[in-house]
Amino acid sequence: MVTQFEKESGYKVEVTLSNNEEMISKLRATGGAGFDLAQPSQDRITGPQQEFGIYKAMDVSKLKADLFIGSMLDATKKNTTLDGKVYGVPHIWGTEGLVVNTKLTKMNDYTDLCRADVKGKVSMRLKRPTLISFAFAAGKDPFALYNNPTAYTALMEDVAKTLTACKGNVKFYWDNKDQLLNGMRAGEVVGALMWDTGGWKLNSEDADIKFIAPKSGATGWIDTFAIPAKGRNDEAAYAWINFNMRPEIAARVAKSAGNFTASKGADQLMEGKLKAQFAESFNDAALKNIKWYPAVPAGLEAIEGRILDRIKAAN
């Protein structure tokens, strides 16, 4: 892809592999210099920008908006907006929802993991995504309470009651993917709260195991395109973004990464199994119902940590 882009555009590309923490650290150390384009997750943009000023506002007129899935572009722009300016647009994304052995049980929302008939046969993580998912399943919007610590704490306490009552259903709280995948393969776990590509991997091995977007909405993460504050080649950055959003290019990215991108129509160019799996898990309504993680305000993870500790300690 780099070779193709360089040939088409005349720009040269140098790729540095990184993660959110390293990326923010490097840009903070240089005041946003050293890179022309960065790809932080959408919930890691407004906080660092407010604190360190490491990104520059995007000129959305330079983006080919029609290449993006509209709902995903809108959600990311909303979640990366600070003082009326947009600082990120979507690239690769993924979700968590339900993975179910449909031969052994049926489920359509997170609370089905707590039904009496699946006692001792489900798995989930004792992490914040589980709290968030069960809050949505209860008909609440935890993200709407992010700036109200008192109300957020009350909601999390209600979720804790549900999850504590559900403990007898949990075969194990998974903390590594192999443990979970093997539990599903063996039939020890018939339903789990887990990530989409893990579900599709299992589906490739056993057609009865499916990733299901829950009725109350899968939760979603998005890795973005953002432009560092002292980037020196914005034109090349925008060219690279638009190149990546072309459906035929995005389909190659998705095949390599195992995760889909925000490119409109790229899923239709995917080969065979993954294309069918995506279509089965996400119709248009399920896509629009994804709950995208916004930026996490300071103090929230401490509240969640206390709640998770309480669930863990409960008999």
pLDDT above 90 for 85: yes
How much is the pLDDT for 268?
80
pLDDT at 184 over 80: yes
pLDDT of 257: 80
Structural domain of 186: 96-217+295-313
Residues 182 and 103 in one domain: yes
If asked whether residues 249 and 299 sit together in one domain, one would say no
Q: Is the pLDDT of residue 296 over 90?
A: no
pTM of the model: 0.77
49 pLDDT above the threshold of 90: yes
Say if residue 119 is in the same domain as residue 19.
Answer: no
Quote the percentage of the chain above a pLDDT of 70.
Answer: 99
pLDDT at residue 315 greater than cutoff 80: no
Check whether residue 160 and residue 263 sit in a common domain: no
- Residue 20 pLDDT grade (very low, low, confident, very high; cuts 50, 70, 90): confident
User: Looking at the predicted structure, is the pLDDT value of residue 285 above 80?
Assistant: yes
Q: What is the per-residue pLDDT for 243?
A: 98
Give the pLDDT confidence score for residue 75 in this predicted structure.
86
Average pLDDT of 24-51? 93
Task: Verify that 181 and 307 share a domain, yes or no.
Answer: yes
CB contact set of 128 (below 8 Å; sequence gap of 6+): 301, 304, 308
pLDDT at 255 over 90: no
Q: Check residue 191 and give left, alpha or beta (phi > 0: left; psi -120 to 50: alpha).
A: beta
> What pLDDT, on a 0 to 100 scale, did the predictor assign at position 19?
85
Domain count, the chain: 2
Domain harbouring 27, CATH code: 3.40.190.10
CA end-to-end span of the chain: 53
Q: Which residues have C-beta within 8 Å of that of residue 96, sequence separation ≥ 6?
A: 129, 133, 193, 194, 195, 196, 218, 219, 220
pLDDT in tens, 143-157: 999 999 999 999 999
Is residue 272 scored above 80 in pLDDT? no
Q: Give residue 241's pLDDT.
A: 98
177 has a pLDDT exceeding 90: no
- Whether 111 and 181 share a structural domain: yes
Regarding whether 278 and 133 lie in a shared domain, the answer is no
How far is the C-alpha of 164 from the C-alpha of 171, rounded, in Å? 14
**308 and 186 in one domain?**
yes
Q: Is the same domain home to 22 and 67?
A: yes
Question: In terms of domains, do 25 and 63 share one?
Answer: yes
The pLDDT assigned to 70 comes to: 93
Same domain, 175 and 115: yes
pLDDT in tens, 90-111: 999 999 999 999 999 999 999 9
Q: What is the pLDDT of residues 297-307, one digit of tens each?
A: 777 878 999 99
Task: List pLDDT tens digits, range 223-245.
Answer: 999 999 999 999 999 999 999 99
If asked whether residues 120 and 207 sit together in one domain, one would say yes
Task: Look at strands 55-56 and 209-212 and give their pairing.
Answer: unpaired
